[in-house]
Structure 1
Amino acid sequence: MLVSRRWRWAAASRIGTSHLRMGTRKQDAFCVRRINPYTFCAVVSDGAGSASYGGEGASILCRSLMTNFRTWFEGHDYLPDGEAIMCWIDQVRDRLSEAASQRGVTRRQFAATLVMLVVFKDRVLALQIDDSALVARKEGVWDAVCWPENGEFASTTYFVTDDPEVRLHTFHLNLDYDAFALFSDGLESVALEQATKQPFARFFDPMIRPIDQVEGEGRLVELSGALARYLDSPALCERTDDDKTLVLVSCR
């Protein structure tokens, strides 16, 4: 028997000190929606720092995919298949091409990465392009669902704008988890242990605890504000000068 879960989340996205120094806009974007009692979606995108409109590309990517999934679940009682998802990715690419044409630049100037969580009933769907990450908690232990991907060399990055086709990874899992965290690569150094390829429990446990303990549902405004202040804190900015986006989700 399916049980409607009590979804609640805190989320924040803050500009990196490197962008502040250069006078450029924040490149990260995110979107979170509880679509119905059995469906929850969250997406994070990081625009390429080398792309003139990477932040706009990230925003378009997040909005487009969230709209696609919301529309899908309004008419379907099952997860979309790979063909439907690739169709939506192609639609995003077309939108980015149109935006690029309007500005007289190539689509590559809207390059952005992707990590997305879709929970439908007792199933989990995760999507990933490149180095944003998704981790999940099961029986008190954090595990990496989507580990950051880079190319053969550390400086190689994959984007939704890549030609001739996008490098999209898709993961299907049972809903054995009671908490999730999505984040951009600006938090990789403090959230992930590279040697073991595992999340830092000492980072995620105290971050998720207040969300676990809240009685309400939906977006937690006060905790989202506290999360934003943490992402702007000098202690964290000393460790990373990139944009930082973090979405913390509990369904315990």
Structure 2
Amino acid sequence: MGLGVTWRVVAGSAAGTSHSATGLDCQDSCWAQVDTPAGKTAVLSIFVADGAGSAKHGGEGAELAIKAAAEFMQKKAALPEFGLGDDFAVDCVMGIRAVLFSAAEKAKVRAREFACTFLGIVSTNLGTLIMQIGDGGIVVDIGNGLEVPIAPMSGEYANMTHFITDEDAVDRLESHAFSKPVLKAAAFSDGIQRLALQMDTNTAHEPFFAPFFKVLSTATAEQEDQLQDALMRFLNSEAVNERTDDDKTLALAVLI
């Protein structure tokens, strides 16, 4: 696969019914983009962050995390070449932590008040890297069907997880590299987790993903503009809200 490799992407976040009912904004944030620097291969990046409900600035933390990851990615994409491995994941997380700790210092609060989870997928024609701190999930197809290479992380107790602002965040960071571009990819916050995964076996729930990937891979240029609206309608649908009252984020990509 040469310079022509590229992806079609769509991503969205929607407030959960528990937040809407109390007038709270959505505390999830996401990013899905394909960068094509002049004369270079395309770079896919997907990032998802879920602000901690117990953190005063959790939603802002999630937004800042996504912005920092996107800026880190754009700097990398501008380089002649870069490797997709553990070092990349650690550098990305350290960059995000620096932004969150700086925001906390400015607000005169502990970094914990900007706590959020963080999930990332980066892919080029040479390979793919996934990385994760906290719950939510990443599903990829590298050529062997849908797989969940990193088990969603829960903390010591139910409804507990790990956050990028935690002291041991870099130790908790899980990353997984592949030597091929990703054919299909999805990242989602824990609001979607029970719909998207078979939790007992930690496998992808194929019927959940099949319609999304089909639409993404077959969409015409005209339909492409409507993908975002269709995803938001799904995230706000009764069928989804009956299953979860949490904020919901889903970001998807298909190699085209």
TM-score by length of 2: 0.90
Task: Report if the CA contact (8 A) 1:68-1:88 is conserved.
Answer: yes
Please give the alpha-carbon distance, in whole angstroms, between the structure 1 residues aligned to 2:156 and 2:88.
29
Deviation, 1:96, is 1.4
Question: For 1:95 and 1:193, how far apart are their aligned partners in 2?
Answer: 35
1:226 aligns with 230
The counterpart of 1:182, out of the listed 173, 187, 190, is 187
SS at match of 1:5: coil
Rounded Cα–Cα distance in structure 2 between residues aligned with 1:130 and 1:235: 26
Q: Percent identity?
A: 31
* Residue aligning to 1:35: 35
The residue matched to 2:164 in structure 1 has which SS? coil
1:84-128 CA-partner distances (Å, limit 9, x unpaired): 543442232222122122323211010011110000222001110
2:207 maps to which residue? 202
Cα contact 2:85–2:176 (8 A) shared by 1: no
Alignment partner of 1:107 out of 111, 128, 133: 111
Q: Alpha-carbon deviation of 1:153?
A: 2.9
Count of equivalent residues: 251
After superposition, give the CA deviation of every residue in 1:123-161 in whole Å (9 maximum; x if it has no partner).
001110011211023557321133311123333311010
In the alignment, structure 1 segments of 5+ residues that lack a partner are: none
Change (3 A) 1:165 1:8: closer
Deviation at 1:175, TM superposition (A): 2.1
Structure 1 stretch displaced more, 170-179 or 194-203? 170-179
For structure 2, the 5+ residue unaligned runs are none
Q: How far, CA to CA, are the matches of 1:160 and 1:206 in structure 2?
A: 32
Aligned partner of 1:16 in structure 2 is 16
Choose from 227, 233, 240 the match for 1:236.
240
Partner Cα separation in structure 2 for residue 229 and residue 84 of structure 1: 35
- 2:165 counterpart of 1:161: yes
d(CA) in 1 for partners of 2:135, 2:188: 9
Answer with 158-167 or 127-136: which moved more.
Answer: 158-167
The two structures have a TM-score, normalised by structure 1, of: 0.91
Pairing 1:143–2:147 present: yes
